Amino acid sequence: MQVSGGTDATVGIPPDVTEETEAFWTAASEGRLVVDQCDDCSAFSFPPRGMCRTCRSRSMRSVEVTGRGRIYSYTVNYQRWLPDLEVPYAIAIVEFPGCPGVRVVGRLRGCAPEEAAIDAEVEVGFEPGPGGYAIPSFVMLGPAP
Amino acid sequence: MGHDRLERRAVISGVGQSVIGRQIDRSGLQLTLDAITAAVHDAGLTIDDIDGLAMFPGGGKANLPGYANGNLYEVQDALGITTTWRQGQVEGMSLPFYGPAQAVATGEARHAVVWRTVKEGSAARKAGGRPAYGSIHPRAEGPLAWLLPVGALSPVCQVAPYATRYLHDFGVKREQLAWIPITQRAHAALNPDAVYRQPLTLDEYMGSRMISYPICLYDCDVPADGSTAIVVSTSEAAGDLRSPVRIEAMAGVIDGRPAWELLEDFTRVGYATAQAMWSRTDLRPTDVDVAQLYDGFMIEAVWWLEAMGFCQAGEAGQFVEGGARIALDGQLPLNTWGGQLSGGRLHAGFGHTAEAVRQLRGEAGDRQVEGAEVAAVANVGGFEAGAAILTGW
């Protein structure tokens, strides 16, 4: 979904990319959200730690999350923590009914930050973030049920 | 029950603090030495009696300017002592005296001093405002890699979603919880060492600037400069001590996912710790005379009021509304030194522990709670939580 407007998210602190997180940030640059899924028990694990949180298998693969998410909670940040940081913006913590145990933190765009709501459905997306990295950025699909 | 509990073989023997303020133009080492000297004297001991040293955060990495100060070995060198036990605290920060109590209970040390020195007040002044979490590193590492790049740049942004979910699930109003900062400010007025001492009104609270919704300015603790030291001694030495305080029970449990954004239920923080702590004593919440509950953000004190059973889940709003129950003459006087919201961000439960000791000894001056014999102390850094009951000798 193409949604323009909102706050520039490029001012900030970029991630340190590690062996565990490289797949996530590479997929992010392609606009895809990936999490770990266990080859042995099929459980999801995120953030990736190289071990299945459910059965401790070390055999994991990256799979794309394509379904809608749901806002577990959120905040609207008004404070200019860094020079040139554009405020306000909403930060949402999103769960995915199809991927139990996965929570992803991202920005919310395409609406006024104050419209953020617990239990609202969101579509997965990304937007340009600090240091040239694409960061998770969700779009609300309507008000909370 | 439980006279063989480890913590019963340890006592808190002394507390001491440096001068505390928004900007103290002295080094972290000098503030630390002031606090340690005062704490050891307060215990009725001399520096030569100290054989254990612990500091927060030890060699651990600091994510905020002014957060970490000094070096344990420099302090030992300055004191000119021999140590048989040392500890840097970050993980295991559940309570300042937790590790030291283990050390003296097992004979690793006889008298251990633990300290926390902050220079966050000066750092905030220098930065022209409260700085971003992680802003002293060019890249966000470890758990912060999922938070800072998306704009959750401060601990405020990390805790705020907990408050959002709490208000949503229980229908509690900000106007109700406002009575925590308002009442603590009234307590701070009676504490000459507190940073903010002028009264705070409900109108001022509701009109204050939003930092990260629903956390406003007065829900945040105040960055400060200062050092707090606590001496923990073996209970065998009680006869040599000026005024020891008993550690009736202590616990620190992490049962949920240990990351700010991952904890399964944002409305239930500290419950496993509180349950483990109460299982170690016959005392009950109604026995507690005074509570020093961590308040880096106001919502954290709410967690503890409910997790420790001072009120039921979702009922903290009703419990604190109007302030009468948490006032000095109320059923549960809360953060009688002003807490970190008004007293200053001494951090990691150090200020809270020092005040609990003063209250139990009857040494809390104008803010003394009449007949305080049982104190609750709780500390939290999100998932990392510690709770204790302290009692007078």
H or E segment and range at residue A135: strand A134-140
Contact A77 B157 (CB under 8 A): yes
ipTM of the complex: 0.96
Task: List pLDDT tens digits, range B36-45.
Answer: 999 999 999 9
Name the nearest CA neighbour of B52 among B13, B3, B93: B13
Predicted pLDDT at B188: 98
pLDDT tens digits for B127-182? 887 777 766 778 999 999 999 999 999 999 999 999 999 999 999 999 999 999 99
pLDDT at B315 exceeding the cut of 90: yes
Helix (H, G, I), strand (E, B) or coil at B316: helix
Question: What is the percent of chain B with per-residue pLDDT over 70, rounded to a whole number?
Answer: 97
In eight-state DSSP terms, residue B297 is B
φ, ψ at B232 (rounded to 5°):
-115, 130
Q: What is the dihedral of CA B218, A13, B135, B209, to 10 degrees?
A: -20
- Other C-beta atoms lying within 10 Å of the C-beta of residue B93: 24
Instruction: Quote the tokens at residue B338.
Output: 């002003």
Bridge-based pairing state of the strands A89-95 and B52-56:
unpaired
Cα B108 from Cα B194, distance rounded (Å): 36
- H-type alpha helices, B194-297: 202-207, 271-278
CA pair distance A131, A18, nearest whole angstrom: 16
Question: Residue A4: its pLDDT value, please?
Answer: 47
What was the pLDDT predicted at B68?
83
Do B135 and A89 make contact, defined as CB atoms within 8 angstroms? Answer: no
Whole-angstrom distance, CA of residue A82 vs CA of residue A89: 14
Chain B partners of A9 at a C-beta cutoff of 8 Å?
150-151
Averaged over B223-232, what is the pLDDT? 97
pLDDT at position B92:
62
Smallest CA-to-CA distance from B292 within B388, B216, B219, B371 is with B388
Which of A13, A75, A80 is closest, CB to CB, to B140? A13
Q: What average pLDDT does the segment B175-194 reach? A: 98
Q: What CA–CA distance (Å, rounded) separates B287 from B290?
A: 9
Mutation target vs B (from A21, A36, A72, A73; most B CBs, 10 A cutoff): A73
The yes-or-no verdict on residue B232 having pLDDT over 90 is: yes
Angle at A72 between CA A66 and CA A77, to 5 degrees: 105
Mean per-residue pLDDT over chain B, rounded: 94
pLDDT value at residue A145: 76
Q: Which fold has domain A22-140?
A: OB fold (Dihydrolipoamide Acetyltransferase, E2P) (2.40.50)
Q: What is the mean pLDDT of residues B98-114?
A: 97
> Considering chain A, what is the average pLDDT of its residues?
94
Mean pLDDT, to the nearest integer, of B229-257? 96
What's the mean pLDDT in A68-96? 96
Among B173, B228, B217, residue whose Cα is nearest residue B354: B228
Residue B392, pLDDT above cutoff 60: yes
Residues B146 and A105: beta-carbon distance below 8 Å: yes
* Beta bridge partner(s), residue B381: B384
Please report, for residues B178, B317, B318, the alpha-carbon distance to residue B170 in angstroms, rounded to integers and kept in the order given. Answer: 16, 9, 11
- Which residues of chain A approach chain B closer than 8 Å at the C-beta? 9, 12-18, 21, 47, 72-82, 85, 89, 91, 93, 103-107, 114, 118, 129-131, 133, 135-137
In chain B the first and final C-alpha atoms are separated, in Å, by 18
Chain A hits for B137, CB-CB cut-off 8 Å, are 13
Taking the C-alpha atoms of residue B310 and residue B377, their distance in angstroms, rounded to an integer, is 13
Is residue B327 within 8 A of residue B186, CB to CB? The reply is: yes
- Please indicate whether residue B354 or residue B56 has the higher confidence score (pLDDT): B354
Least confident of A134-143, B15-24, B43-52, B122-131: B122-131
Using 50, 70 and 90 to split pLDDT, how confident is the model at B223? very high
Question: What pLDDT does residue B60 have?
Answer: 56
pLDDT tens for residues A8-62?
999 999 999 999 999 999 999 999 999 999 999 999 999 999 999 999 999 999 9
B50/A135 Cα distance (integer angstroms): 51
pLDDT score of B65: 81
Q: Write down the pLDDT at residue B131.
A: 73
Q: What is the mean pLDDT of residues B91-98?
A: 82
* A46 in Cβ contact with A101 (< 8 Å): yes
Report all structural domains of chain B as residue ranges with CATH numbers, in order of start. 6-128+154-391 (3.40.47.10)
pLDDT band at A144 (very low <50, low <70, confident <90, very high): confident
Q: What is the reported pLDDT for B63?
A: 73
What are the residue boundaries of the structural domains of chain A, listed by start? Answer: 22-140
Pairing of strands B384-391, B245-251: antiparallel
Q: How far apart are CA B282 and CA B286, in angstroms?
A: 11
CA distance A39 to B95: 40
Instruction: Report the pLDDT averaged over residues B311-322.
Output: 98
Which positions in chain B have a beta carbon within 8 angstroms of at least one beta carbon in chain A?
129-135, 137-142, 145-154, 156-157, 160-162, 164-165, 168, 209-215, 259, 261-262, 266
B163 Cα to chain A: minimum distance (Å) = 9
Residue B384 has pLDDT above 70, yes or no: yes
C-beta of residue B70 within 8 angstroms of C-beta of residue B36: no
- Cα–Cα distance for residue pair A69/A90, rounded to 1 Å: 16
pLDDT of amino acid A2 = 44
| Residues A107, B150: C-beta atoms closer than 8 Å | yes
Given pLDDT bands bounded at 50, 70 and 90, which one contains residue B340? very high
